[in-house]
């Protein structure tokens, strides 16, 4: 047995023997709902059975949050910032444990999960640094009067997150609503709950009671959170199907402020003047193969100027074929399994249907374990842009190559999808880069880069990719409502 396998056994038995609980108010308590299994997608072995929240658990968390929010919202922003930083410090002292939890729970490479944990903590600290950005305005609206605004927290914020960055999203997405003065109820994906539940446990005693609750469970738990009348602000990251469902449920239970970070079918456009080797490296990075393509921002459609298509394709296909697929705890592995066998089957369905429709698969076949979520990184050309693979988010390691001649053709192809999250343009022509940035229907655009999220730069999508912006001061302010005060002076 090599050292890594011994470490693997240690971490798996620590998970199996851990007393997994929900964090509600001042308590760590086992959920009173159904137990849900969470599996290691590399081996399909059971990691743990964790009881989900019952409807009463959800309502208890909301009641505790309502109480806690009153005092939390009255603390000074710098005071809240200190406690959010304290939480980041405590989590950092458990960084290795948290990275292993995500590697085993989600199948993502350990080296990548170490980066994810660090990024989550960096974003928490970024929002604590934004503390003094919670300001209002004064408006000279009348002669002699004083007209001013101040931001007011909503009270209770529900945060529902997906499976693909389990800890990073749990940590980073609670920071802005907390900093804005709200209490937060966080629900991780039922597919990858462990690191968020651990976060909830570690936060007890750092944050005041009730300021953060962490629940576990699937759609019924999320729905109950959205329906509760005391929850007036919901922030959701996930698929557009569930995002739209949340808008519907929210509308049935009040007037709710809902922001949505949803999927993408993102285009990377390579012009003939681009640095070709950098573009190929950018395409590999942009597909987020370390996440097996399970990333909302993945550049899964690559649009190539006809004159460079052949050279780019040759280099890119070789780079994808060279990726090392294997167990995510091995240090040299670049691509692990997808989150579960069902995700693998879904992606294989896309591949089979595209092949049957005449698309040409350029990457080599690989021998991969039948168990769990392993699927080969795959590049196609000859995909009909209006076909299923040309239009729909695969959320897996499947890339389609297209060609164009005119800039206008590239813009039309890039925009001809229902999504609008990211886009990437490769050119050394400054005027063209800005023309493209204005023409592309996407919320986050890179020129000569892919995938990088820059701290403080608003991230979010248009069209089916969402509503709202995160990772920035815009996100912080989105967790407040504006109160306006008009002072009329005595004459």
Q: Which is nearer to ligand NAD, 42 or 164 (CB)?
A: 164
Cβ atoms of residues 185 and 157 within 8 Å: yes
Q: Does 37 contact ligand NAD by CB under 6 A?
A: no
Q: Are 330 and 7 in contact (CB under 8 A)?
A: no
Q: Which of 33, 120, 238, 390 binds ligand NAD (CB under 6 A)?
A: 238
Q: Residue 186: CB partners within 8 Å, gap ≥ 6?
A: 159, 161, 170, 173, 174, 196, 200, 212, 213, 214, 215
Q: Least CB distance from residue 324 to ligand NAD, whole Å? A: 24
Q: Does 162 bind ligand NAD (CB under 6 A)?
A: yes
**Of 443, 453, 475, 478, the residue nearest 122 (C-alpha):** 453
Choice from 48, 61, 62, 160 touching ligand NAD (CB under 6 A): 160
Binding pattern for the stretch 396-425 against ligand NAD, x by CB under 6 A and - elsewhere = -------------------------x----
Burial class for 355, CB neighbours closer than 10 Å (0-12, 13-18, 19+): middle
Question: Other CB atoms closer than 10 Å to residue 408's CB: what's the count?
Answer: 10
Q: Which residue's CB is nearer to ligand NAD, number 289 or number 395?
A: 395
CB atoms within 10 A of CB 331: 8
- Kindly determine how many residues on this chain lie close enough to bind ligand NAD according to the rule CB under 6 A: 29
- Min. distance of Cβ 367 from ligand NAD in angstroms? 28
Residues 194-223 binding ligand NAD (CB under 6 A) are 218-219, 222-223
Q: Which of residues 465-484 bind ligand NAD (CB under 6 A)?
A: 466
Using the rule CB under 6 A, is 242 a contact of ligand NAD? yes
Does residue 296 bind ligand NAD (CB under 6 A)? yes
The distance of closest approach from Cβ of residue 244 to ligand NAD in the complex, given in angstroms and rounded to an integer, is: 10
Kindly give, in sequence order, each residue whose CB lies less than 8 Å from that of residue 97, ignoring residues fewer than 6 positions away. 14, 198
Rounded distance between C-alpha atoms, residue 491 and residue 488, angstroms: 9
For ligand NAD, which is the closer residue by CB, 382 or 458?
458
Look at the alpha carbons of 132, 136, 139, 143 in this order and tell me if their dihedral is positive or negative: negative
Q: What is the dihedral of CA 106, 264, 262, 87, to 10 degrees?
A: 50
- Let me know how long the chain is: 491
Could you tell me the smallest distance in angstroms from the CB atom of residue 294 to ligand NAD? 7
By annotation, the residues acting in catalysis are 261, 296
- Name the site residues for ligand NAD (rule: CB under 6 A): 160-164, 187, 189-190, 218-219, 222-223, 226, 237-239, 242, 245-246, 261-264, 296, 393, 395, 421, 461, 466
């Amino acid at each position: 047995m090599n050292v890594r396998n011994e470490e693997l056994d240690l971490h798996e038995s620590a998970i199996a023997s851990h007393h997994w609980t929900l964090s509600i108010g001042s308590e760590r308590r086992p959920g009173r709902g159904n137990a849900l299994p969470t599996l290691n997608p590399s081996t399909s072995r059971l990691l743990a059975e964790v009881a989900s929240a019952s409807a009463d658990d959800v309502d208890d968390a909301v009641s505790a949050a309502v109480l806690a929010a009153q005092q939390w919202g009255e603390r000074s922003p710098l005071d809240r910032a200190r406690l959010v930083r304290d939480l980041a410090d405590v989590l950092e002292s458990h960084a290795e444990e948290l990275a292993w939890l995500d590697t085993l729970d989600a199948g993502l490479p350990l080296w990548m999960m170490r980066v994810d944990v660090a990024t989550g903590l960096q974003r928490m600290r970024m929002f604590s640094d934004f503390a003094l950005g919670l300001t209002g305005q004064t408006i000279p609206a009348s002669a002699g009067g004083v007209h001013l605004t101040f931001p007011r927290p909503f009270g209770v914020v529900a945060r529902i997150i997906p499976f693909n960055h389990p800890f990073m999203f749990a940590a980073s997405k609670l920071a802005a609503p907390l900093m804005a003065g709200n209490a937060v109820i966080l629900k991780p994906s039922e597919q990858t709950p462990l690191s968020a539940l651990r976060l909830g446990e570690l936060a007890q005693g750092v944050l005041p009671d009730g300021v953060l609750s962490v629940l576990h469970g699937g759609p019924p738990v999320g729905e109950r959170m959205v329906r509760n009348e005391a929850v007036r602000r919901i922030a959701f990251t996930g698929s557009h199907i569930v995002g739209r469902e949340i808008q519907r449920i929210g509308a049935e239970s009040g007037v709710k402020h809902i922001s949505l970070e949803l999927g993408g079918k993102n285009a990377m456009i390579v012009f003939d003047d681009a640095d070709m080797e950098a573009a190929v490296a950018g395409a590999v990075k942009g597909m987020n193969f370390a996440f097996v393509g399970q990333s909302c921002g993945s550049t899964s459609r690559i649009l190539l100027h006809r004159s460079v298509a052949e050279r780019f394709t040759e280099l890119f296909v070789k780079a994808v074929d060279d990726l090392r697929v294997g167990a995510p705890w091995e240090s040299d592995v670049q691509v692990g399994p997808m989150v579960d066998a069902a995700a693998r089957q879904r992606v294989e369905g896309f591949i089979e249907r595209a092949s049957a429709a005449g698309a040409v698969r350029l990457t080599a076949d690989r021998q991969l374990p039948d168990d769990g979520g392993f699927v080969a990184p795959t590049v196609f050309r000859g995909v009909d842009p209006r076909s299923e693979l040309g239009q729909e988010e695969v959320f897996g390691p499947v890339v389609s190559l297209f060609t164009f001649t005119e800039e206008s053709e590239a813009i039309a192809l890039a925009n001809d999808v229902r999504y609008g999250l990211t886009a990437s343009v490769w050119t050394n022509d400054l005027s063209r880069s800005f023309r493209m940035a204005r023409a592309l229907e996407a919320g986050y655009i890179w020129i000569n880069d892919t995938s990088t999220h820059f701290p403080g730069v608003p991230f979010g999508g248009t069209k089916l990719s969402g509503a709202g912006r995160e990772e920035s001061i815009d996100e912080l302010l989105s967790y407040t409502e504006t109160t306006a005060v008009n002072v009329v002076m005595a004459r």
